[in-house]
Amino acid sequence: MDICILGTGCTKCETLEKLVRDIAVELNLDCNIEKVSDIEKRLGFGVMMTPALVIDGEVAFSGVVPTAEEIRETLSGKI
């Protein structure tokens, strides 16, 4: 599973990255987690608002920091 956290490095983006990394460990996921701050790459996903969570090329959340439970459910559904 490839997971991208798209963001500028703001507090919300950092919060999302930490939540995703913690939950990936909790769920024992075999995944690659990448932080993408380059605006061209972010726009390539069609994301206009950050933070955003992209899983296997599909935008799961954009413009919000989802709850830990929402992230857990989303990642669990991709296993």
Q: What is the pLDDT of residue 9?
A: 86
CA distance 4 to 54: 5
Q: Which residues of 33-56 are buried (b: 16+ CB within 10 A; e: fewer)?
A: eebbeeeeebeebebeebbbbbbe
Band (77; pLDDT cuts 50, 70, 90)? confident
Structure tokens at 73: 């459910």
Of all residues in the chain, the percent with pLDDT exceeding 70 is 99
- pLDDT above 70 for 37: yes
Residue ranges making up the domain that contains 21: 2-76
Of all residues in the chain, the percent with pLDDT exceeding 90 is 86
**Residue 76 exposed, middle or buried by CB count within 10 Å (0-12, 13-18, 19+):** exposed
The tally of domains found in the chain comes to 1
Mean pLDDT of 3-19: 94
> Residue 35 maps to which CATH number?
3.40.30.10
DSSP 7: -
